[in-house]
Amino acid sequence: MADDEKWYFCMVHREVEPQEGCRPADRLGPYDSAEKAARALEIAAERTKAWDEDPLWNDTEPDKAADDK
């Protein structure tokens, strides 16, 4: 296998696969290694949590009326 080969996590079969695999709509990736692809769901959850907690992406603003009391 080539060093630059990319790996994917198939959401249908719940397994790691190389470029020649299921259709792109059913996969997460690409990842630089099979080990990272195996952690695809965990990585996605970590990224989602980070985005949810990022004040630059958070659409809700603090309740300013509560500060006035």
Give the chain's domain count: 1
pLDDT (0 to 100) of residue 55:
85
Q: What is the pLDDT of residues 7-29, one digit of tens each?
A: 999 999 999 999 999 999 999 99
Our CA dihedral for 28, 9, 42, 45, rounded to 10 degrees, sits at 20
Enter the pTM of the model.
0.72
How far apart CA 33 and CA 45 sit, in angstroms, is 19
Give the CA distances from residue 66 to residues 53, 59, 61, in Å, rounded to whole numbers and listed in that order: 21, 18, 12
How far apart CA 17 and CA 34 sit, in angstroms, is 8
Q: Is the pLDDT score of 42 beyond 80?
A: yes
Residue 36 is assigned to a structural domain of this protein: yes
Residue 2 is assigned to a structural domain of this protein: no
Residue 40 is assigned to a structural domain of this protein: yes
| DSSP 8-state secondary structure symbol assigned to residue 32 | S
Q: Is the pLDDT score of 48 beyond 60?
A: yes
